[in-house]
Amino acid sequence: MFVSSIKHKMPEQQPEIRRRNFDEVALGYDDTTAKAEASRCLQCKTAPCRQGCPVGINIPAFIKHIREGDFTAAIDEIKTKNNLPAICGRVCPQEDQCEKFCVVGKKGEPVGIGRLERFAADYARARGRKQKVILPPEPLGKVAIIGAGPAGLSAAGDLARMGYKVTVFEALHAPGGVLMYGIPEFRLPKEIVRQEIEELKELGVEIVVNAVIGKTFTIDELLTEEGFDAVFIGTGAGLPHFMDIPGENLNGVYSANEFLTRVNLMKAYKFPEAGTPVHAGKRVAVVGAGNVAMDAARTALRLGAENVYIVYRRSEEEMPARAEEIEHAKEEGVEFRLLTNPVRIIGDERGWVKGLECIRMELGEPDESGRRKPVPIANSNFVLDVDTVIMAIGQGPNPLVQQTTPGLAVNKRGNITTDETGRTSKEGVFAGGDIVTGAATVIQAMGAGKKAAAAIHEYVQNKRKGARNSQ
């Protein structure tokens, strides 16, 4: 049989159409293409791809089911390890994970593992297929999860499957974390996030929204008054950084978090049908070149901006965003101003942005991170004519929980410190995801949630055994 050396293409909306709508860009495989792509897998005995998957999906096994046309068996296999496959299939950087290790990728392109995972999840979802769950009559214990992002949701799903009574406390009005407020609709439709979380609820997971831990309850209250056996903290890296340059408080300057939250969580792109406004000007500068910057830039285009610039102090090579995201942004017309660093935001007499003063940079010696350090070129300042500036230069840990939890150790950047199983310095308290690692990926957060769930299980059972023995 002829096996293609390249991945089967996934159909996409054309750039000139999609750049003005919020519909999903990538359209997914059909049955035939999925089977054909699945046939590219060599079913390696050692399955090197599996070492690249932070949640340990049995990749060849689910791919085999797809090849044989048993799509529901495929999703059942995935779901034993991954609670949110329709999401991971869409947003994981597979080129750095499972697909990086795929044997087929040595000679040609690796097997499209992510696309196949997405296909199986969508297939099951479209048919309303539910998982079979048998819960024990008596729960094994009560666990509180703080934050309904990928880390918290994955810990919740695993613990519920093991037989725990799980309550997730989420500060916002909708669960999902970055999946809901950060990653845009056109990459990850919110309806899919909602449905995937609904399935978790069917496992018996209770989600309490509008509950800001540190304010509504403290961790100590959850462990004592509320009677939880253990707590998992998955509060993410939600604190936006600004540059501390003049003009940052002018009207028309946003953190990427605020801009994306208004558009994604609050649906400002439907204003005034939805009550929250957003100001997307005609000419928008997005500072930074990670995935967050690409998302903000592509969102600004879809809100009707005429020119959208990515302003980045290093060169194309150092851009942290995924190659595919950069490609998509370019196709849609985002303009790149590389080796360019903002020094000041210029306002008009009414307090609105009217320009971004930048300085040109050149690359010097490599720094600690091994990347060549950008240095300003004297007297090369110029003004970019923009009316909106979006800061996408990174996020720090959300400090609310740390500030109100005595005895919880954090490092100098404010991230919670844990051992490799997710145990913190405080008994009964576990943590994982971006709050521990700093801004990382969805699947790494899920992997951390999974590990912590196992550690929580061990901890609670030991504690209960201890309690029984001393009786």
Partner 1 sequence: MFTILKKQELAPSVKLFVVQAPLIARKCQPGQFVILRIDENGERIPLTIADFDRAAGTITLIFQEVGHTTRQLGRLSAGDALLDLAGPLGKATHIEKFGTVVCVGGGIGVAPVYPIARAYKEAGNKVISIIGARNADLLILEQEMAAISDVLYITTDDGSKGRKGLVIDPLKEMLAAGEKIDLVMAIGPVIMMKSVAEVTRPYGVHTIVSLNPIMVDGTGMCGGCRVSVGNKNKFACVDGPEFNAHEVDFDGLMARQKMYHSYERREHRCGGDCSCHR
266 binds, among partner 1, ligand SF4, ligand FAD, none (CB under 5 to 8 A by kind): partner 1
Could you give the dihedral angle defined by the CA atoms of residues 446, 452, 457 and 463, in that order, rounded to the nearest 10 degrees?
-160
Select from 41-49, 134-142, 246-254, 301-309 the region that touches ligand SF4 (CB under 6 A).
41-49
> What's the rounded Cα separation, in Å, for the pair 110 and 40?
9
Which lies closer to ligand SF4 via its Cβ, residue 59 or residue 301?
A: 59
Which lies closer to partner 1 via its Cβ, residue 33 or residue 402?
A: 402
Contact status, residue 177 vs residue 364, Cβ threshold 8 Å: no
* Contact flags string 108-147 toward ligand SF4, x per CB under 6 A: ---x-x----------------------------------
Cβ-based neighbours of 107, under 8 Å, separated by 6 or more: 5
Which lies closer to partner 1 via its Cβ, residue 279 or residue 372?
A: 279
CA-closest candidate to residue 281, choices 338, 352, 329, 383: 352
**What is the chain's alpha carbon radius of gyration, rounded to the nearest angstrom?**
23
Which lies closer to ligand SF4 via its Cβ, residue 3 or residue 27?
A: 3
Which lies closer to ligand FAD via its Cβ, residue 268 or residue 435?
A: 435
Which lies closer to ligand SF4 via its Cβ, residue 104 or residue 179?
A: 104
> What's the rounded Cα separation, in Å, for the pair 429 and 218?
12
47 binds, among ligand SF4, partner 1, ligand FAD, none (CB under 5 to 8 A by kind): ligand SF4
Minimum CB separation from partner 1 for residue 351, in Å?
4
* Contact flags string 329-368 toward ligand SF4, x per CB under 6 A: ----------------------------------------
Minimum CB separation from ligand FAD for residue 170, in Å?
5
Minimum CB separation from partner 1 for residue 21, in Å?
20
Q: Which of residues 72-111 bind ligand SF4 (CB under 6 A)?
A: 102-104, 111
72 binds, among ligand FAD, ligand SF4, partner 1, none (CB under 5 to 8 A by kind): none
Minimum CB separation from partner 1 for residue 155, in Å?
21
Residues binding ligand FAD (CB under 6 A): 91-93, 146-152, 169-172, 177-178, 182-183, 212-214, 234-236, 238, 260, 291-292, 295, 398, 400-401, 433-435, 439-443, 445
Which lies closer to ligand SF4 via its Cβ, residue 45 or residue 468?
A: 45
Which lies closer to ligand FAD via its Cβ, residue 33 or residue 261?
A: 261
Count of residues near ligand SF4 by CB under 6 A: 14
Which lies closer to partner 1 via its Cβ, residue 74 or residue 389?
A: 389
Give the per-residue SS3 of the chain: CCCCCCCCCCCECCHHHHCCCCCCCECCCCHHHHHHHHCCCCCCCCCHHHHHCCCCCCHHHHHHHHHCCCHHHHHHHHHCCCCCHHHHHHHCCHHHCHHHHCHHHHCCCCCCHHHHHHHHHHHHHHCCCCCCCCCCCCCCCEEEEECCCHHHHHHHHHHHHHCCEEEEECCCCCCCCHHHHCCCCCCCCHHHHHHHHHHHHHCCCEEECCCCECCCECHHHHHCCCCCCEEEECCCCCEECCCCCCCCCCECEEEHHHHHHHHHHCCHHHCCCCCCCCCCCCEEEEECCCHHHHHHHHHHHHCCCCEEEEECCCCHHHCCCCHHHHHHHHHHCCEEECCEEEEEEEECCCCEEEEEEEEEEEEEEECCCCCEEEEECCCCCEEECCCEEEECCCEECCCHHHHCCCCCCECCCCCECCCCCCECCCCCEEECCHHHHCCCCHHHHHHHHHHHHHHHHHHHHHHHHHHHHCC
111 binds, among ligand SF4, partner 1, ligand FAD, none (CB under 5 to 8 A by kind): ligand SF4
Q: Which of residues 42-61 bind ligand SF4 (CB under 6 A)?
A: 42-44, 47-49, 59-60
239 binds, among partner 1, ligand FAD, ligand SF4, none (CB under 5 to 8 A by kind): partner 1
Minimum CB separation from ligand FAD for residue 81, in Å?
17
Residue 70 corresponds to which amino acid?
D
Minimum CB separation from ligand SF4 for residue 27, in Å?
23
Q: Is residue 243 within the footprint of ligand SF4 (CB under 6 A)?
A: no
Residues binding partner 1 (CB under 8 A): 171-173, 209-212, 215-217, 238-240, 242, 244, 248-252, 254-255, 257-258, 261-262, 266-267, 271-277, 279, 350-351, 398-400
Q: How many other C-beta atoms lie within 10 A of the C-beta of residue 131?
A: 15
Q: Which residues bind ligand SF4 (CB under 6 A)?
A: 41-44, 47-49, 59-60, 102-104, 111, 113
